[in-house]
């Protein structure tokens, strides 16, 4: 007996996005752990999943990758734009460490936070609120860089007024020779930023979906809210906003290079991100699975080895 065979008539009927093939999602994750990095014919030839044995290794390698891209751009005398997440977060202290060790000034860097909590109208938390993503980025990355930091005028946050300007700002930077690097995590429901799978129902074609640069007051899936209750709000679901401002595929699919991270383990054998990782790497591009497009881009996806499974039932 399993979920797929018992879902009819249950409270889960109609809960999952309409375009999900649950049997296919299950098949994606029903593989031996040592096969997770096995190349698929639809991956970009320069896309590489990178297994990490520990959270420390994960944070260091992902942070080094961010810092290396900044260093390379500085050496090549060009600007670089980053779309940045708040989750994962541990890589930022290591990006700061390497940039300081190499004495790399970040005046050529432009940062664009990919999302922010909001209400249904796109109004966000105050920038100094402990739960705001702007506050988190200032504390984890921009602040610790000290004299090497990204100029304040080159830091962009996903507020109601600023998010709609991202596309044009990034376009102008790219036209001047800048590269676009997208740093990301993968959500429980396979979102990138807060671009949720159920948005797919609104669009008549894949091309229309891919053209969407952003959304204000995006309605979040219940699993996204619960994921964040666990990972960011100490289990207090009642503190998690039900809406967010977010970039869309019209931005994250234009990346020249991607740096992804999956660190969603909880200890004692528990995790929330194993299925998300496997589906991302095995499903194939589908607008109902936003993260499934990321392997079609050049770059790296770092992940904790534990997430590869095996994903089997185990009481903890």
Per-residue pLDDT tens for 222-238? 999 999 999 999 999 99
| CATH number for region 48-308 | 3.40.50.1360
Give me the chain's average pLDDT, please. 97
The mean pLDDT of 257-269, rounded to a whole number, is 97
Q: Indicate the DSSP class of residue 121.
A: T
Beta bridge partners of 193: none
Per-residue model confidence (pLDDT) at position 316: 74
- Going by pLDDT thresholds of 50, 70 and 90, the confidence category of residue 92 is very high
Q: Indicate the DSSP class of residue 29.
A: T
Rounded to 5°, the CA angle 293-22-284 comes to 20
Q: Would you kindly state where each structural domain of the chain is located, as residue ranges? A: 48-308
pTM score above 0.95: yes
Give per-residue pLDDT as tens, 15-44: 999 999 999 999 999 999 999 999 999 999
What residues contact residue 195 under an 8 Å CB cut-off, 6+ apart?
212, 215, 218, 246, 247, 248, 249, 252, 290
The mean pLDDT of 261-282, rounded to a whole number, is 97
Rounded CA separation 119/35 (Å)? 42
What residues contact residue 2 under an 8 Å CB cut-off, 6+ apart?
none
List, in sequence order, every beta strand (DSSP E) within 85-208.
109-113, 115-118, 155-156, 179-185
How large a percentage of the chain has pLDDT more than 70? 100
Rounded CA separation 48/30 (Å)? 21
Per-residue model confidence (pLDDT) at position 236: 96
List, in sequence order, every beta strand (DSSP E) within 93-167.
109-113, 115-118, 155-156
Per-residue model confidence (pLDDT) at position 39: 98
Per-residue model confidence (pLDDT) at position 315: 82
Per-residue model confidence (pLDDT) at position 179: 98
Per-residue model confidence (pLDDT) at position 285: 98
Per-residue model confidence (pLDDT) at position 81: 98
Phi then psi dihedrals of residue 228, to 5 deg: -75, -30
Per-residue model confidence (pLDDT) at position 4: 86
Q: Is pLDDT above 90 for 108? A: yes
Q: Is pLDDT above 80 for 2? A: yes
Per-residue model confidence (pLDDT) at position 80: 98
Per-residue model confidence (pLDDT) at position 264: 98
The mean pLDDT of 122-150, rounded to a whole number, is 96
Q: Is pLDDT above 80 for 1? A: no
């Amino acid at each position: 007996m399993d979920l797929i065979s018992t879902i009819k008539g249950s409270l889960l009927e109609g809960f999952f996005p309409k375009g999900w093939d649950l049997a296919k999602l299950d098949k994606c994750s029903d593989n031996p752990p040592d096969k997770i990095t096995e190349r698929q014919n639809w991956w970009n030839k320069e896309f590489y999943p990178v297994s990490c044995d520990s959270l420390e290794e994960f944070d260091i390698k992902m942070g080094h990758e961010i810092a290396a891209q900044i260093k390379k751009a500085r050496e090549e005398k060009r600007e670089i734009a980053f779309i940045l997440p708040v989750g994962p977060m541990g890589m930022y202290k290591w990006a700061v460490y390497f940039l300081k060790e190499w004495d790399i000034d970040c005046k050529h860097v432009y940062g664009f936070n990919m999302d922010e909590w909001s209400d249904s109208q796109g109004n966000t938390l105050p920038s100094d609120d402990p739960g705001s993503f702007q506050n988190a980025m200032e504390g984890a990355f921009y602040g610790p860089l000290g004299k090497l930091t990204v100029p304040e005028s080159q830091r962009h946050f996903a507020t109601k007024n600023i998010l709609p300007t991202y596309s044009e700002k990034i376009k102008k930077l790219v036209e001047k020779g800048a590269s676009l690097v997208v740093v990301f995590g993968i959500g429980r429901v396979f979102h990138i930023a807060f671009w949720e799978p159920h948005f797919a129902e609104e669009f008549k074609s894949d091309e229309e979906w891919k053209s969407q640069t952003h959304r204000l007051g995006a309605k979040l899936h219940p699993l996204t809210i619960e994921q964040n209750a666990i990972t960011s709000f100490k289990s207090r679901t009642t503190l998690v906003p039900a809406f967010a401002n977010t970039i869309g595929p019209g931005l994250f699919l234009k990346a020249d290079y991607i740096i992804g991270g999956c660190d969603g383990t909880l200890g004692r054998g528990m995790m929330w991100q194993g299925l998300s990782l496997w589906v991302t790497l095995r499903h194939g591009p589908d607008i109902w699975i936003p993260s499934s497009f990321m392997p079609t881009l050049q770059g790296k996806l770092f992940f904790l080895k534990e997430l590869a499974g095996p994903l089997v039932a185990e009481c903890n």
